[in-house]
Amino acid sequence: MPKLRRIIHIDMDCFYAAVEMREHPELANRPIAVGGASGRGVLTTCNYAAREFGIRSAMPVFKARELCPSLVILPVRFELYREASRAIREIFKRYTDLIEPLSLDEAYLDVTHQKRSGAELAEEIRQAIHHETGLTASAGIAPNKLVAKIASDWNKPNGQCVVPPSQIDAFILPLPVRRIWGVGPKSAARLTEMGIETCGQLQALNQTELASEFGSFGLELYRLCRGIDERPVEANRVRKSLSNESTFSKNLESLEDCEEALMRQHGELMEDLRSSAPDRKIAKVLVKLKFSDFQRTTAEMPAQQAEPKLYRQLLREAWGRSGQPVRLLGLGVRFAETDSSPEQLELGI
């Protein structure tokens, strides 16, 4: 029988925008976004005041300005966000050593060893974050990572949701299948074609049927749609790769459009490398594309430096495999293996 854990998933509320709001109190209650300032740029995130106008992350700037002419767009300042993330991480360490960061603004915490309830601990952590950083966080508390992550989005912003073991079935049954980890647009579309919209409906299929339709992922779906997730919180894992990606609300129609987006993302990637992996040796560089028909392709090559010309070369190679408009662009690096981390886990691309 799987070990019963107590997992907290902490997810900061509109993190980049919230940090900028903290730094610019004069912009209180104004719609704010963070991202490219040019009309061809895209937004990284926005605050809740902006979301009331229909603005969201990855939206082109020109579209956001159409929806909200008074929108304040601020440039991305990764070092500022990393500083806030480090302060939040220090708060986590007061409660557990089992911390698995997913990004600057979210992490899993295993508090199984604590005597106090997960709900009480999550409330205290969120209060400490607000008191010490001026930022708000939401939390999901559950026996596993899958349910905790979904639950953290339940009462946003600045709220939390507890799903005890006895309530997992009730929580998971009406859940849309697209909320399950690993179910992307293509899988969701196929499930819709099969008349399946919720986890409860998905549970009607047996393992053989799911494996026939989705291969090995079908067997995982069988467990996930029942709220079964035995993955442990993995602390101190070493990155095998570093990447970023953007999904565009309006497809990129030409190679030139893709090149412009790529150069913007390349600057963000280099900033990430300098701050989070300055001493890691690069073994490969890669570009990932998802086209308008949801087909994906990845092009990569051996390299020791993440040079822009290499990414442009890979972009042309990947684009040439389809020529369809692009809905997602990702680029990244794979690090050389180190003796101290033979079992590294891959993140991102």
Neighbouring-strand partners of residue 98: none
Total Cβ atoms within 10 A of residue 247: 14
**Distance, CA of 165 to CA of 213 (rounded, Å):** 30
Contact 196, 203 (CB under 8 A): no
Distance (Å, whole) CA 17 – CA 45 = 6
CB 143 within 8 A of CB 1: no
- List the one residue out of 341, 343, 349, 329 whose CA is nearest residue 285: 349
Instruction: Please state, in angstroms and rounded to a whole number, the distance separating the CA atoms of residues 12 and 158.
Output: 8
The structure tokens listed for 138 are: 């939401």
Bridge partners (DSSP) listed for residue 300: 286
CB atoms under 10 Å from CB of 186, counted, come to: 13
- Beta strand spans in 223-295 (E): 241-252, 282-291
Instruction: Single out the catalytic residue among 52, 66, 90, 106.
Output: 106
Pick from 181, 180, 160: nearest CA to 172: 180
Place of tokens 């993190």: 15
Task: Work out whether strand 106-110 and strand 99-103 pair parallel, antiparallel, or are unpaired.
Answer: antiparallel
Please give the full DSSP string across 173-193, using - where no structure is assigned.
TTSBGGGSTT--HHHHHHHHH
The dihedral sign for the CA sequence 293, 294, 300, 306: positive
Does a cis peptide bond (omega within 30 degrees of 0) precede residue 143?
no
Map residue 289 onto helix, strand or coil.
strand
Whether residue 90 lies in the annotated active site: no
In whole angstroms, what is the distance from residue 114 CA to residue 116 CA? 6
Distance CA(8)–CA(328), nearest Å, equals 30
Pull the structure tokens for residue 41: 């740029």
Active-site residues, by number, are: 106
